[in-house]
Structure 1
Amino acid sequence: MNKKGCPEEYPISLVVNGYEIAIFQLTKQDLEDWVYGYLFSEGLIEYTEDVKCVEIDENQGRIHVTLEQDFPVESMFSKKKHYTAGCGRGVTFFSMTDVKAFNKVKSEKTYQLSYLLKMRSEFAKSSLLYLETGGMHGACLVDEYGNMTIREDIGRHNAVDKVIGHAIRNHLDPRNLVLLTTGRVSYEMLSKAAKFGFAVIGSRTAATKQAIQLAKYLQIEVVGYLRGKMAISYTSFGRVENDLEVRFSEVHPQ
């Protein structure tokens, strides 16, 4: 019987310009990427230059962020908090209505299904924390040259924030990237991807009806159940071509 270690999670308070946003359950790896990704996803920053300083105190479980400009504290905290579904519970201040106001994705870049399945397989083989513990989620960026950047966390949404943070810190163009995730694509996951501008999202599992409706509205290609010799196409913008004799069904809820 093979023994695996236990996945770790820590309560970490995010404090921005002296105001505590929330306490998050996080895996400690790549916390600075998470900070940038979360702040970007929530609309508190647009560029890395908007962040003056990040101080991470793992012993106290606090991250202090100083922004170059004040952020609208009253308007932000007057919004309802939306708690994310699943493990590593998080919080977002964007509603479904807010997300529909995001820019629609414009991309003519296409990918073959065989390529996405291959990248998903390589992603799984390279997810070291998952291989060590069996209890981690991961997110992966695949660039136009096939290079992968992987981030892992107890929460699937945290992992996505981490890869988005990596992307904006390195000034990567979302039009040249595919987002792969191990977790379910729910509306808050879709909103993070839409905010950054990903045109193609692939998951080893399902997408929710609300996420699919948003993806169709924002013109984002979503492919689920990328595993073995199957996949499910949830949207139909022509960015993923089935070049294999595999089950590639379409699900388009109203």
Structure 2
Amino acid sequence: MKRKSCPEEYPITLKVNGYEVAVFQLTNQDLTDWTYGYMFSEGLITKKEEIQSVHFDPECGEIQSIINNEIDIQRTFSQKKYYTAGCGRGITFFSMTDVKQFNKVENQKTYRLSYLLEKRSEFAKNSPLYLETGGMHGACIVKESGDIVIREDIGRHNAVDKVIGHAVRQGLNPNSLLLLTTGRISYEMLSKAAKFGFSVIGSRTAATKQAIQLAKYLNIEMVGYLRGKMAVNYTGKGRIINDIGDSEFEIQRL
């Protein structure tokens, strides 16, 4: 397949109530969703109503957001930062110890393996930036109706923030949603999913050992290598039903 263009990334500064959080490498698309998702994932907001405004200034490359909750912004931003791995490098204020304090998932909704593979294929076929450039990550939420919402970015964690931001803005219930991603699931990716409350996460590639340990602790089902008729279930929580007899479906014990 001939690619028509190269992926693009921009240095974009996030300011919250005038305080500079950091400069992020982002794809210049769905930035309002990213802002809501990032701030929710990092515990700066707990609901959409706490954001008063979001404004993107393309000339100076700044997202300026005003929030109206009781959070001590200066204290929060002075905490130790953890730089995330991979492309589109970002930061998180949560350590692995912090993530263990998140609420454990109670939702026991099950999914057929064939359904996950079907939605993973639909996700791949409806990712325009990846199809155009071959160099983008994507994240996808699957609703109870089967409808999908896709967001793309140069960074895998940015793409996840974008779909979480969409879900927060729309008031979607995590108990009825499935999260799919193109990227490796590392501990900070798992923390974003856990913060929102997803019970099942699927990826076309691998998960790190630290992410698997956290997922097991938080009772989250995590499935990797969703390709063709194969998958690796890293956590074995019973939410994925293998309905494809000849599939390569492995439950990995770590």
TM-score class, shorter:
over 0.9
For 1:75 and 1:220, the matched residues in 2 are separated by: 31
Which residue identity is paired with 2:253? Answer: H
Q: TM-score, normalised by structure 1?
A: 0.98
State the partner residue of 1:198.
198
Structure 1 residues 158-189: Cα deviation after superposition (integer angstroms, max 9, x where no partner): 00000000001000000000000000000000
- In the other structure, the counterpart of 2:72 is 72
Alignment gaps of 5+ in structure 1:
none
User: Does the CA contact (< 8 Å) of 2:3 and 2:134 recur in 1?
Assistant: no
Any idea what the Cα deviations from partners look like across 1:32-71, whole Å, max 9, x if unmatched? 0000000000000011100011111112100000111353
State percent identity of aligned pairs.
68
CA contact (8 A) 2:19 2:74 kept: no
Q: How many residues get paired? A: 253
CA distance in 2, matches of 1:4, 1:247: 35
Question: Normalising by structure 2, what TM-score?
Answer: 0.98
RMSD: 1.0
Alignment partner of 1:52 is 2:87: no
Q: How many angstroms apart in 2 are the aligned matches of 1:243 and 1:69?
A: 47
Distance (whole Å) between structure 1 residues aligned to residue 122 and residue 175 of structure 2: 21
Instruction: For 2:95 and 2:104, locate their aligned partners in 1 and report how far apart those are by CA, in whole Å.
Output: 17
Secondary structure of residue in 1 paired with 2:225: strand
5 Å-filtered alignment, 1:111-126, equals 111-126=111-126
Q: Secondary structure at the match of 1:235?
A: coil
* Contact 1:17-1:70 at 8 Å conserved across structures: no
Mind listing any 5+ residue stretches in structure 2 that lack a counterpart?
A: none
Q: Secondary structure at the match of 1:146?
A: coil
Distance in 2 separating the partners of 1:148 and 1:241: 21
Partner of 1:8: 8
Q: Which residue of 2 aligns with 1:177?
A: 177
Residue matched to 2:102: 102
Shift of 1:77: 2.9
Question: CA separation in 2, counterparts of 1:235 and 1:50?
Answer: 34
Query: Compared with structure 1, are the counterparts of its residues 246 and 64 closer, same or farther at alpha carbon in structure 2 (3 Å cutoff)?
Result: same
Equivalent residue for 2:141?
Answer: 141
**Runs of 4+ off more than 4 Å:** none
Equivalent position amino acid for 1:51 in 2 = I
Q: Which amino acid letter does the alignment assign opposite residue 126 of structure 2?
A: S
